[in-house]
Amino acid sequence: METDLTNRTDQGTDKETLYMLGGVALVIMGAGLVLSSPTVRRYLGQVGFGNFSSAVLPDIERYFRLRAM
């Protein structure tokens, strides 16, 4: 009887994980579709998102170097 309850719990966890990963994939695909629009790219260029990412990149690299030590 215990194994039957354990199998049901495992199947429920697997299904929830599958739903979560499917949702993450849809979010990533949706963001890619939005960011591929020329209008959105133009607005991000005006806001200066490219400057922001180039300013943050050295900090991220430094963080990974410190973490590898």
**Residue 44, pLDDT score:** 73
d(CA 34, CA 37): 6
pTM greater than 0.85 (yes/no) = no
CA distances (Å), origin 67, targets 41, 42, 43, 61, 63: 33, 36, 35, 10, 6
Q: DSSP assignment, residue 48?
A: T
**Residue 4, pLDDT score:** 53
* Mean per-residue pLDDT pooled into runs of 10, the chain (69 residues): 54 85 94 84 73 74 78
